Chain A
Amino acid sequence: KNEVEQSPQNLTAQEGEFITINCSYSVGISALHWLQQHPGGGIVSLFMLSSGKKKHGRLIATINIQEKHSSLHITASHPRDSAVYICAVGVWHNNNDMRFGAGTRLTVKP
């Protein structure tokens, strides 16, 4: 079982819909990262959080440390939001390590 699980694997939405992507992890973490990857490979960091909630424009990320769960929400989705969204965690142990989810492929149709 992967230490970082994302759901759903694939998501198709109509423009304007509210979108939620979930991430669960099973290890102790220092921080959780939400990343966006467009076709071609480039990755952009959207959020880094270790508690609570962060908001940037139409994007909101939340984390529940006790439940080891995070969500990424997109309000008023737009076709340009189509990308792969990846959850990653910095792992607490005696060695710097980062573990990634497999990603959620989001397609927003006009």
Chain B
Amino acid sequence: ETGVTQSPTHLIKTRGQQVTLRCSSQSGHNTVSWYQQALGQGPQFIFQYYREEENGRGNFPPRFSGLQFPNYSSELNVNALELDDSALYLCASSSGTDYFSYEQYFGPGTRLTVT
């Protein structure tokens, strides 16, 4: 157990809808990163938040947005859902940033299906 939790576990949405996924970081971790993992592929980095500010972003459009709160919980919001957004969404917390030179502690993931 990493101490990182995510909710919900599974979610089904319709194309065009909006979705919010939640993550609770390990206690004391000020950095959270979000990843998308399509079926059968490796994860892809979406973005990272450090002390409530976006601190890095992968190749994802602006309809993917996030928030980090003072209690180190965080959200991933996706607007205008597309079928290709169907994936496992993972968050990971760490005790620092610095180009991912800190160990990542992953949550169990949220599986999103867009129909």
What's the nearest-Cβ distance from chain A to residue B8, in Å? 14
Contacting pair B100 A43 (CB below 8 A) = no
The A68-110 residues at the B interface (CB cut-off 8 A) are 86, 88-92, 95-103
Contacting pair A98 B108 (CB below 8 A) = no
Task: Report the bound CA distance from A45 to B101 in whole Å.
Answer: 13
What's the nearest-Cβ distance from chain A to residue B46, in Å? 10
Task: Name the interface size band of chain B.
Answer: 20 to 34
What's the nearest-Cβ distance from chain A to residue B100, in Å? 3
Instruction: From B97, B103, B106, give the contact of A96 (CB < 8 A).
Output: B97
Cβ-closest chain A residue relative to B45? A98
Contacting pair A86 B42 (CB below 8 A) = yes
What's the nearest-Cβ distance from chain B to residue A63, in Å? 13
Do A103 and B101 contact each other (CB < 8 Å), given the known contacts A41-B90, A41-B108, A96-B56?
no
Q: Give 27 pairs: A residue, B residue, CB < 8 Å, sorted on A.
A: A30-B98, A31-B101, A33-B100, A33-B104, A41-B88, A43-B43, A43-B92, A43-B109, A45-B104, A45-B106, A48-B101, A88-B100, A89-B100, A90-B101, A95-B57, A96-B55, A96-B97, A97-B56, A97-B58, A97-B99, A98-B33, A98-B35, A99-B45, A100-B42, A101-B42, A102-B41, A102-B42
A interface residues with partner B (beta carbon < 8 Å): 4, 30-31, 33, 35, 40-45, 48, 50, 86, 88-92, 95-103
